[in-house]
Chains A and B, each alone.
Chain A
Amino acid sequence: SQQGEEDPQALSIQEGENATMNCSYKTSINNLQWYRQNSGRGLVHLILIRSNEREKHSGRLRVTLDTSKKSSSLLITASRAADTASYFCATADRGSTLGRLYFGRGTQLTVWP
């Protein structure tokens, strides 16, 4: 069963704009991860944030985690056409098999040149 839920389901923006995607989840977690998937391809790991962290940066990516609200956000700054993909959040839950991930349904991001 799927644990995370991304919002919005689809997002369409122009190159240069920022893209923000949100993820809500239900249980206590060890960490939360964001992945990107280009059409017909496997998932690419973007960033991992642990339950005791609040914010993390990687290049143009910024991830926040609010464990009290059970939510996370992924911000992509200065978006490019190459950022067009589906973005998934995945949680590693406490009490679950160590490392097992629960994915949401994803946000489809389209960046227009």
Chain B
Amino acid sequence: GAGVSQSPRYKVAKRGQDVALRCDPISGHVSLFWYQQALGQGPEFLTYFQNEAQLDKSGLPSDRFFAERPEGSVSTLKIQRTQQEDSAVYLCASSLEEDYGYTFGSGTRLTVV
């Protein structure tokens, strides 16, 4: 597609609920990143895929966070038993190569109530 597409755009979850956030990267982009952006802060790294391989997940805050990219294209970030501190904008970015600028999606704003 023309850009990185993320859905849903907004998600309100009750505390304890599981959520799944979807990212459709630009077709053919090898690298895919997930970032978390709290209000008034810069994005913080969560995890990185090269094709279907998850090469770095050191930024995931806890074992409640899980990401996958089974066929090397669409990726899903899952958060189990959501907590209030999970409220943030979750950004997905993709790139053809690692040493390039990234194309970011518009993000999913998650609010946990």
Of residues 22 through 78 on chain A, the ones whose CB sits less than 8 Å from some CB of chain B are 30-31, 33, 35, 40-48
Interface residues of B (CB under 8 A from A): 4, 6, 31, 33, 35, 40-45, 48, 55-56, 58, 91, 93, 95, 98-107, 109
Residue numbers in B under 8 Å from A45 (CB-CB) = 101-104
Known: A42-B106, A88-B42, A105-B41. A99 touches B98 (CB 8 A): yes
List 11 other contacts, CB 8 Å, given A41-B106, A105-B40.
A1-B44, A2-B41, A2-B44, A35-B104, A43-B102, A45-B102, A45-B104, A92-B98, A101-B33, A103-B42, A106-B42
18 contacts between A and B (CB under 8 A): A4-B42, A30-B99, A33-B102, A40-B109, A44-B104, A45-B102, A92-B99, A97-B55, A99-B31, A99-B33, A99-B99, A99-B102, A100-B48, A101-B45, A103-B43, A105-B40, A105-B41, A106-B42
Which 3 pairs from chain A and chain B are nearest by CB? A103-B42, A99-B98, A45-B101
Known: A31-B99, A42-B91, A100-B56. A105 touches B42 (CB 8 A): yes
- With CB as the reference atom, state the residue of chain A lying closest to B30: A99
Task: Indicate if the CB atoms of A104 and B45 lie closer than 8 Å.
Answer: no
Smallest CB–CB gap between A19 and chain B, Å?
18
Residue numbers in A under 8 Å from B100 (CB-CB) = 48
Task: Indicate if the CB atoms of B45 and A98 lie closer than 8 Å.
Answer: no
For the complex, is A112 an interface residue (Cβ under 8 Å from B)? no
Q: Which of A1, A30, A33, A104 contacts B101 (CB 8 A)?
A: A33
